[in-house]
Each structure stands twice: as C-alpha cells, then as structure tokens.
Amino acid sequence: MLETANNRIDIQALDRQVMWEAQKYSYLWEGAGSLSPVGSEVPEPIDGNIADSIAAAAAVANVESPHYTLDRYKAPLRWLARGAARGVLYLSSIVTHAQTHFNYHVVSGLDLVNRRFERIDATNRLHAGIIGWLGDVLPRVGDQVLAIEKQMVAVTARLGQMDSRLSQADKERVDHGQELELIRERLPRLEQQMNAMAEQLAQQAARLSLLERVARQPQVKDGAGAGAGDGATPVINANASSALDGLYMVFEDHFRGSREQIRERLGEYLPLVDNYLAAGHEEVAAVDLGCGRGEWLQLLQSRGVKALGIDSNTGFLGQCEEAGLDVVESDALEYIISLPDESVAIITGFHIIEHLEFAVLVRLVDEVQRVLCKGGVAIFETPNPKNLIVGACNFYADPTHVRQIFPDLLEFVMQSRGFQSVSLRYLNPHPQEQQLATEEAPILAGQLNGLLSCARDFAVIAYK
Amino acid sequence: MKPIAFVIPWYGESLKGGAEQFAWQFSHRLADRGYAVEVLTTCCKSFLEDWNSDHLAQGEETIAPDLLVRRFKVKVRSSQDFHGANMRLLELSTEQFRTAGPGIPDRDAALFIQENIRSGAMNEFIEKNHDNYQAFIFIPYMYGTTFDCLPIVADKAYLHPCLHDEVYAYLPQVEQLFHSARGILYNSSGEKSLAEALYGPGIHNKGVVVGGGVESAAEDELTHLSSIGGVDIAEARYFLCLGRRDRTKNTDLLVQAFRKFKLSDMSNPIRLFLAGPGTLNYTDESCDILDFGLVSEQEKESLLHHCLALMQPSSNESYSRTLMEAWLYGKPVGVHRHCLATCEPVEQSGGGWIADSEPAWVALLREATGTDGNAMDAMGNNGRMYAREYASWDAAMDRYEKALDITLQPSADLETPAGRRLHKIVQLTAGVTYGDAISNQAMFIRDHLRHLGYVSDIHVEVLDPQCAAEATVYQPGLLDDADAVIYHHSIGSSLSTICAEFPGPKALIYHNITPAHFYAPYDQHVASLLEDGRRELVAMVGAFSCLLGDSDYNANELLDAGAVKAGVLPIAVNPDAWQQVPCQSVLDRFGDGRRNILFVGRISPNKCQEELVLAFNHYRVLDPESRLLLVGGYDPEDKYYRQMIHSIEALGLGEDVHVCGKVSQQELHAFYRCSHLFWSMSEHEGFGVPLVESMWFDVPVMAYKSSAVPETLGEGGILFDDKRNLTELAFLASRMLHDKLLRSNLIAGQRSRRLDFHPGRVQQAVHSLVAELERQCEAGVSRNAV
C-alpha cells in the first residue's frame, strides 16, 4: 500500500497501477534469481564451450594431488614410486600449496565471469527481441499514418466540395421556402371555399333525393303520417326540416368520425351477434334505429343477418340505398310501435337516445321489450356523461342532442321494464396522447384522467 | 547613501532586448525614487554592433537627475575566436546538459569568456572605486563585464541574470557567479526555479523574484480598433499569438496543432490570428489562420482587447511580456510546460492552460474552445490579479528596493526573551563529526544562541579532527561558569550523567537511540551500548524538566520513557549549506544520463542498505542502465557492511552499485545533483535529514514507512508499507523515475514541505527552548541554589 500526504497525487490510482504492472510483468523476473537466462535456454558457446574448459581447469587445479598413473609399474616398484611421489609432493607442497589456492581462485573467478557473460547474453537477446518487434511494428505504423494523412487530404477536398454544394442547397431552400410561404397563405382560403362547396353539394344531394322519393312514392301517408299535430304518438324529430338534413350529413362526417372509424367501433358488438347466431336461432331479423350512414347495417350484412335500417334523414337514407342496404324512412318510435310482438331478434340504436326526452325514451324501451324475441338482444350506445369533458362540453357539439343519459339510470330503467341481464359497457376512452401526463403527480393525474379521459361513450346491452 | 551601480555592456533607451530594457527601466525608476544611480557601461552602442568599436564617447553623462552614465572603452579582443566558440556552443543542445553531466568543452567555454565583450578600463575603475558604492547590479549574466567585475565586488554584488535554459547557462564559470553573488534578482519565479535546478538549492535563500513592469493600454480609454486591414476583429472569435514568429518560439508547433484541431472540428468558427515581426507568414485560409505580420502598437492592443485567449507556445523565455499584457486585458493564456517562466505563473494563478507536445496542444485548443464565457472570464481574472502583482512597476520596484537591502536571515521577528538572566548556555553531546546531523544541529543552535546574544559553546566526548574548530573536548570543570546546559542525547555516553547532575536550568534534546535489536546480530558491543542508552533515557527523563525530540516520533519515545511532556525541536536544514560549486569529478562520473538512485546514510543495519541493494537488483531488470549510489560512512570491518558487500558481489552488481563512503560537502552536493530518485528502506530514523536535503534538490523520495520518516516527509515523497514485494517496488521506482507528471507533482509537494525545516522556521522552536531555560532560571533552578 502506498501513502502520501501530497494531495496533488492520486495515490490509490498509483497503487493500483503499480500492482497491476507488477502482476502483468512478473514474468520478467522468472529465472532472474538464478543465473540462467530468461527463457531457460542453454547459452550458446562463443568459442568452444567455456564451461567445459573451466570444468577441465578445475579438475586439475589441485597441484598437490597426483595426476599421473603408476599402474604400468609392477607392484613393489609401484609402492616405491608412490611413496616417493608422495614424499616429493609433500615437500613441494611448500610451493604448490599457494599455487593450488591460486588456481582455485582463478577458476572460480573465471566461472563468475562466465556466468556474467551468460546473463549479458540473455539480456541482449531480450532487447534484440524487443527491437525486432519494434522494427516490425514501426514501419507499419508509419504506413498507417501516411495512409491516414492521405485520407485526410481527400476528406478535406470532399468537405470543400460539400461546402459549396451545401451553400447551393441552402440558397435553393430559401427560394423554396418563400414559395411555400405563398402557398401556405392561400391554403386556408381554398379550404374554406371547398367546405362551403361541399356543404352546398350535400344540400343539393339531399334535395335531389327528396325529390326522387317524392316522385317514386304514390301517396304520402296522409292520416297516420301527419304526425306533427298528433299528440298520441310523439315523434322524435319534431322540428327536423329536410333543409337541415344536408347540414347534418356534413356534420356527421365532420364530428362523428369517418365511416371506417365508426365501423371499427361498432365492430365491438359483433361478438354479441355472433353469440346469438351461434345459439342456433333461425330467421334472425335485426332492426337498427337511427341507422345513419349504415355502418352497422353493413356489419350485419357481412354476418348474413337480415337487417333493416330506420332513419328520418333523407340524405342518409339515400346513401344507404345506394349502398344496397334496406332502409325505411320513418320516425324510430313510430316504426317500433308498428311492429308485432317478438318479431325482431336484434334491436340496436347507436347514438339515438340522447336525442329523446325521458318520457319518450321510456316509451321506446317498453316497445323494444315487446318487439324483441325471446332471448333477443337490445343495444343502445350513447355519450357517457361520466366523462366530464363529454358531459360538460362535447355533448353540445351536436345541436340535436336533447339530454344526456346517466348510465346507471338507463340500466335501472331497462331492468325495471323487464329486461334480463342488463349490463353496461364503457367504450372509447381518450387516446393516450390526449390524457394527462402522470409523471409529475401520478395520483392526481390518475384521478383526473378518470374523470376527463375515461370512456366517452357507454352502451347498455340487455336481453329479453 | 552611496550610489548604486548598474553594470551592463550596452545602455540606451531604444535598445532592443529584454536585459537592456530592464536595465533602462530599473535604473531610471530607482533614480526616480530618489536613489543615486550610476550606470557603468561600454562605449559600444548595442548588441548588434561590432563589439570592438567604441561608437559613443567615453566619460560621464548625466541623463537624468540622480542618474549618471559612465562609459568605458571596450577592450579589443579576437571576435573571430569568440564567434567560433559561440557557434560551436550554439550547436550543442541543452538536452545533453540536463543531466548535470559532462558539460561544455573547456576550450570553447574559456574562449567564450575570454573573448567576450569587456572593458579593461571598467575593471580598473571598479577595483579602485568600489568602496564608493553601496551595491553593484550586474545584468545580464553572460557578458564579460559580469564575468570580470562581479568577483571583484562579490560581497555587494547582485546578479540580475535574465536566465534562459540556453547553452551559456551551463558554463561552469556561470555557476560560480551565482554562488559568489550576494543576491540574485529574478524576473519571474520560473527563472528562479530554473536557476535552482541548474545550480542547486544553495542559491535559494539569496534569490528574490522581482518581476518587471508591463505598460498596458488595457485600463486606458484607448479606442480599440474593430477591424484591421479589412478583417473584422471585434466580432471574430479567435486565439491570438503575439511576438516574433520563428521556430525557436515554437510558432510552428502552435500552427500545426491548430490545424489538427480544426480538422477534427470543422464546424467550429474559431480562428487563429498571429501578429509580430518575423519573415515567415503563416496565413492559411482553409484552416482559419490569419497572420497579420508586423502591426502597430494600437493594432496590437486592439487584437488583445478582442481576442478570446492568448497562446504563448515559446519554451525559451525568462519573462513573458505578452503573457502579462494578455492578463492585464483579462484574457486567459495557453503556455508551454517546458518554459518555467510562463508555466509557473499560470500554475500559480490558474489563469490559463499548459501543454507540451503537439497532441497536448491540440487538446489544449479543444479545451479552450469548449470553455464557456464565465470560466474564461474567471481564468482571465486570476491572471489579471497575478499580473497586477508581478507586472506592475510599482510592485516590482518595491521588491527591488527590498532585495537590495536583503540580509537573507529569516525574517521572523526575534523575540528576545524578556528579562534575560542567563549569560552562558552550553551544549553537550557525545561527539561532533563532520557531516553528522546532530553535530550540525548543535552548531545551528549554538550559532543562533550567539546571535541572540548568549555565550555558547559545544563540549563533546569525542571530537572529529575535521571539526576541531567547532567544539572542545569536555574537561571536568568546564561547566563551572555555565548558566544553562543543553544536552543532546543519542547514545550511551559518560556526559549524560554529568548533565543530569547539573543543577542549573537544563534541557535534553533526544535524537533517538536506534533500537538494539537491529545491531544484535552484527555487533554485540554496539547493541549493548544502545541498550544502555535506552535505559539511561528513562533515568534522564526524570532528571530533566525540559525534554525535546527532533520529531513527534522521538517526543513520543520520551513520553513512553516516562516524560510528562515533551516538545519538538526539528532539525534545521539550511539550503545555504550548498553554496559551493559541486564536485566535478562526481558529476562527470555519474551525470551521464543513466538513472541514479541515491541513498544517503551511514551503512547500518537499521538503515537496511543491504535490502536496498536487493531491491535495486530487482529494479535493474526494468532498467539495466540504472545505478545505485550509497553515500555514507562505514567501518570496513563492520559485519553488516561486509554482508552488504557480499550481496553486491554475489549478485554481480559491482559495476552498478557504488558504495561511496563518507564524502565531502562538495561531493555530496554533486551526488544530489545527479540523482533522480532517493530510495529509503530504512526501518529506523530519528529524523532523516537526507530526506529533507533531497527535497531541496528536487529529487523525489520513496521511503519505507517507519519511525519518523512519514513525519519528516510530510506532504513530500511517497511511502510504502510493504518492503517485501520487490516487483511492486520496482514498478513504483520506475514510475517515479519516468512519469513526468508524477514527478512534477511530487516535487511541488516537496518544495512546500522543505520550507518547514528552514532555519527561519526552526528558530521559533529554539526561542521557545531558550524561554523555557530562562523560565527555569527564574523559577529558582539556579546552579547556586542549595
């Protein structure tokens, strides 16, 4: 562990660095304690084998011991010779003793020198290896640097070109921008003109179909149809004039949504139809009160159900007829009243009941209950006042809306008028992007969303 | 007061050149302040003219009230020889001198000095009349006038060297000038650092950073131009580079770095503007570089006013005027790390950025571009405050005046103890030997006591003949007329009982006794002496009421031995001890570029030199060219010494480990100068004077953490607590030798710590000691009390 009181130095980083290097490069010291070279190779002799020479010298360094052999002499002479030799050696040891010591010192000195050289060789080899590696790497690095420099030159040239192109493009963009501005200014006016024309067209179309109808039907229902003055059968659209039909058609397109959207939403109810069909009923008849543009009728048609649409808006009726749907022009309540008991399996009314006074609604519920077959289903969808935005604001977008229906009230009415398994379904909440963001105050946002972004419509589904 | 004389070869208002400008300014301003000033100069007109010609009239001329100029005829000399020698000198690169190694060829050095510009007449005049002058200021350092005349009046000579890191600075004769002068006046702290790096810490105490003055239009209501030559400078965002543009000023380096920076960040609108004299033009539209060439004063001021920052890449300045000018405008600056004169002010003030190599400069430019307005203003402001201090003529002149009166004794007020009763204070210590820390400390204390007015001597049991003048051998009865005694205790000695029995006021300074266990395996006799010493300590502690240690470590041992309280009197380490030219043979032998690792200390078991040898052997694998220098006395018969020698031989390190023995002060100076790392494996130090000495020579220290070593090192050096992992130690040493940033950080810390042991600071502790003795006297602890 390293320490310092010098706060200019990050001592812990230094400590880690040193430890890491020590571990990584510890191999450099392997074999360095002993005198064998790194890599444990046997050193090559420079000129002959020095080690052998030294060993040989060491072998005869001792001047005082006999090196010759007396074996060739016969026995008694041998002993004599040996004795004499020993005597001579003993006497001469006065001189040779020092010589022996000298020899030994010289030999060991040479040995040390030899070892020294071995170590130097090892180091040199290590260095040579490193230099060799450097020699390999450096030219490559140099080449790479050159290549990069060349690229840089090219890149700079390209950049210059791109610069000029960019400034050209800029200029053009400015010009285009100006043109766009002019166009933009004119667009709103064009839109307005188009809208006006569309409205006029729609009205013309309504007038035309009314005329056609009048031309086709021999009599108008004089007695029963005069409706307006007859107090017994209240009619729904008491003050609807055909002139407004055209406006209403355009309104539908504008506010309610496109046909495709409505068809998609109404597809919600198809499972109910499928269930009914799957139960094996035959001769399934369906009536859609206030069929409007006929989206539900089309869906029923796709399921092979005989469906009849009732509406009082001539324009819509014309459209439906052109689409090959069965429709009847009539006031909804009047028509239901005219039907026999238990004659229809599926009765639907999408966004009609909010156009009725309460008394009329109750009457309609009773009649529907009478007309439905056993096990038949009635579906009424209407705006959900529990969504405050709908209830306080959007509801009034349609000038023909009369009153909002409180969901639980409708459920209660249906139940008390004899329907079985009455259920409410809440539909069509605001999409995510229109809801309040929940990051900052999740609880509050959640509560507010519950009031403002919840289901915009609800439907009551009741069985007989 | 007698006049002050400036000595310079050329003198005139319009002369170009830093030294000439300084001479003009300082001489005039001193005269303005009311001093009598004379200028001794030659009849030669300027540096650029023929030095053998007398252009101006000889004689006296009063050019301002209180300002008299004396011109002397030049001595004709061989300009051919001079130019030849000069050319050869200029071809040498200063890199090779950085190792304080074999220097300039003697012949060329001698020629350069002999054939330099000088005036025989001036020399004679000064020899005859120097008594009539208060002081002499020699400016700059490398001309004959300085070489000849400074030694004549050395005791009142002040050198204003204008030193750069150039070849001439490495002339041995120049080093001698620095040591001889009474005081040295520097233009910048970087110049002072350079001088100390070149000539050792001996000149530290007598050097003063004076600074200079820079006239700037920053504060004026000058209308700054908003465009120059059709180029809008008020709205442009640019870095500015001012001054002569050529390779020696590193302009190339800056331009290249700027190009590279631009290539990496082409969308950045920042530009580089250059201005100043010079033949090369660096304009390069594609990289937004614009070179204005030579501009007028007003244009220069305008460029400074509108720029974002100034870039000063030169590594060869003793004082950068443009740096100060930029700072007075509140602009941050970018400078070169190798130029101490610009780098130190930036480091000290935080007024800019520092870089060295080209990639570092690219990074600097990138950082400067990325700095937001507030940070830039803050840095510029830091610089402005520094410039106001060091680039203002008033501040500079104040410092100049003070410098000329300097005594260089530490300025701590001497609290002469009130109610002085003592007259003679005597010190006793076991022995005084040459180069021994305890001996030096005793001498320091004695000198200071005498300075305070006491009679003071040192008595010893054993006296080194080399120090015969400093102390006397104790004889019975020598204490008879002493009023108070200070005893230095470090080893068993007969003097200890004598001191313990002294009835008068006394103090014990404990210099630590090496624990006996270190010596037990090697020398039983010494071990038992040490044990005796320890036992004595316990007895001594009881006998003295005033107990001091060199360090907290020692003081704690006193407390462990039974003391009630113990103070600290650190050992004073005075850089003035190095006021000599270092031993050249040591420098020649070891200052050759190979890395030198140093340890200073007596060869002894507690200092663990043998372990250091083993560690060095391990380190050698990383750097086979390195050396270990072991400086310190030894006994050839000593067992530990022989063991160490055996290790050295067995490892085959005879060529690389140098056991130098006891050395002279000059040799020691040279050893410190050519060493790159101080490595201590010592397990016991009472203080560790060589640690502090290393700090004075800017030699980084790595030491085993033991005894008083951490305390002495303070914020200097690096400590390790595990001495067995030799591989890690080897890598640490390698880092400390090769990592430049680490080294500079270490040296910065060491430079701060070493001042804590400056005699000026230690004196306070001596005063406290004296006060305590006086107090004891007052309390009736008198030798005459019964």
Q: To the nearest whole angstrom, how far is the Cα of A178 from the nearest Cα of chain B? A: 27
By Cβ distance, the residue of A8, A14, A156 closest to B749 is: A8
A111 Cβ contact list (under 8 Å, min separation 6): A54
**Hey, what are B135's tokens?**
């002081």
Nearest to B731 among A7, A22, A32 (CB): A22
Task: Tell me chain B's radius of gyration from C-alpha atoms.
Answer: 30
Are A6 and B715 inside 8 Å of each other by CB? Answer: yes
Residues of chain A in contact with residue B652, where contact means CB-CB under 8 angstroms, are: 112, 115-116, 119
Residues on chain B touching A5 (C-beta within 8 angstroms): 710, 713-715, 749
How much is the average pLDDT of A15-24?
Answer: 89
**pLDDT digit string (tens) for B268-299?**
889 999 998 877 888 888 788 999 888 888 88
pLDDT value for A293: 86
Q: Residue B781 — very low, low, confident or very high, per pLDDT cuts 50/70/90?
A: low
CB contact (8 A) between residue B749 and residue A5: yes
Per the model's pLDDT, the better-predicted residue between B55 and A406 turns out to be: A406
Rg (CA), chain A: 55
Contact at CB, B720 and A3, closer than 8 angstroms: yes
pLDDT higher for A233 or B734? B734
Q: Is B748 within 8 Å of chain A by CB? A: yes
Chain A: closest CA distance from residue B712 (Å): 11
- CB spacing of A7 vs B714 below 8 angstroms: no
Distance from CA of A52 to the nearest CA of B (A): 22
State whether residue B130 is helix, strand or coil. helix
B269 reaches A (C-beta below 8 A):
no
Residue with tokens 């950085």: B98
Query: A-contacting residues of B 465-494, CB under 8 Å?
Result: none
CB contact under 8 A, B652 and A119: yes
Question: How far B733 CA sits from the closest chain A CA (Å)?
Answer: 9
> In the structure, what pLDDT confidence band is assigned to residue B406 with cuts at 50, 70 and 90?
very low
Q: Could you say which of A2, A32, A160 has the minimum Cβ distance to residue B732? A: A2
Q: Looking at residue B219, what is its pLDDT?
A: 64
Task: Give the separation between CA B634 and CA B607, rounded to whole angstroms.
Answer: 12
B651 contact A CB<8A? no
- List chain B residues with CB under 8 Å of A39: none
pLDDT in tens, B51-74: 888 888 888 988 888 899 999 988
Q: Specify whether the CB–CB gap between B387 and B214 falls below 8 A.
A: yes
Q: Do B749 and A4 touch (CB under 8 A)?
A: yes
- Within an 8 Å CB–CB cutoff, is residue B154 touching chain A? no
Q: Tell whether the model's pLDDT for residue B531 goes beyond 90.
A: no
**Confidence check: pLDDT of B102 > 70:** no
> Residue A378: which pLDDT band, with cuts at 50, 70 and 90?
very high
**B272 — contact with chain A (CB < 8 Å)?**
no
Q: Which residue has the higher pLDDT, A44 or B108?
A: B108
CB nearest to A19's CB, from B710, B728, B730: B728
Is residue B728 within 8 Å of residue B232, measured between CB atoms? no
CB-closest option in B286, B720, B745 to A6: B745
B401 pLDDT tier (thresholds 50, 70, 90) = confident
Q: Is the pLDDT of residue A94 over 50?
A: yes
Q: Which residues of A touch B624 (CB under 8 A)?
A: 123
Any idea what DSSP says for residue B59?
E
Backbone φ/ψ region at A2: left (φ over 0), alpha (ψ -120 to 50), beta: beta
% chain B with pLDDT above 90:
41
Q: Do A6 and B749 touch (CB under 8 A)?
A: yes
Contact residues, chain B, for A156 at CB < 8 Å: 263, 286
In chain B, which among 691-710 make CB contacts under 8 A with chain A? 705, 710
CB contact at 8 A, A387 and A456: yes
Percent of chain A with pLDDT strictly greater than 90: 32
Task: Inform me whether the C-beta atom of residue B728 falls under 8 Å from chain A C-beta atoms.
Answer: yes
Mean pLDDT confidence for B404-431: 67
- Nearest Cα of chain B lies from the Cα of A174 at a distance, in angstroms, of 21
B263, B713, B725 ranked by CB distance to A22: nearest: B725
- Determine the pLDDT at residue B785: 47
Please give the Cα distance from B308 to B333 (Å, whole number).
9
Q: What is the pTM of this model?
A: 0.59
Nearest chain B residue to A27 by CA distance is B727
Which of A455, A294, A292, A300 has its CA nearest to residue A389? Answer: A455
Q: What are the pLDDT digits (tens) for A23-82?
A: 888 888 876 544 333 333 444 444 456 777 887 787 777 777 665 666 666 777 878 888
A116 contacts on B by Cβ (under 8 Å): 652
Q: Is B62 left (phi over 0), alpha (psi -120 to 50) or beta?
A: beta
pLDDT digits (tens, 9 = 90+) for B167-193: 888 888 899 999 999 999 998 888 898
Query: Chain A residues with CB inside 8 Å of B720's CB?
Result: 1-3
The dihedral region occupied by B477, where left means phi > 0, alpha psi between -120 and 50, and beta the remainder, is left
Q: What are the DSSP E strand ranges found in B717-772?
A: 718-720
Q: How confident is the model over A253-265, as pLDDT tens digits?
A: 677 777 788 888 8
Chain B residue with Cα closest to A157: B286
A167: Cα within 13 Å, side-chain hemisphere: 5
Q: ipTM of this model?
A: 0.77
Q: Which of A9, A29, A115 sits opposite B621 (nearest CB)?
A: A29
Q: What pLDDT is stored for residue A23 in this prediction?
A: 87
Q: What is the pLDDT of residue B222?
A: 65
A1 and B722: CB-CB below 8 Å? yes
Closest-CA residue to B565 (of B550, B586, B548): B548
Report pLDDT for B784: 54
Residues in A closer than 8 angstroms to B621, CB to CB, are 28-29, 32
Looking at chain B, which residue has its C-alpha nearest residue A26? B727
Interface contact flag, B713 A5, Cβ < 8 Å: yes
Across the A:B interface, residue pairs with CB atoms under 8 Å apart total 77
Neighbours of B374 (CB within 10 A): 8
Q: Which of B287, B721, B732 to probe by mutation at the A interface, max A CB count within 10 Å?
A: B732
Q: Two tokens at B420?
A: 């002085």
User: What are the chain A neighbours of B728 within 8 Å (beta carbons)?
Assistant: 18-19, 22
| Cβ-nearest to A4 among B718, B731, B735 | B718
The answer to whether the bond into B140 is cis (omega within 30° of 0) is yes
Asked if B745 is an interface residue toward chain A (Cβ–Cβ < 8 A), one would say yes
Q: Is residue B655 over pLDDT 60?
A: yes
* pLDDT > 90? residue B609: yes
CA separation for the pair B717, B702 (Å, rounded): 6
* CB contact B727 to A (< 8 Å): yes
Do B326 and B302 contact (CB within 8 A), yes or no?
no
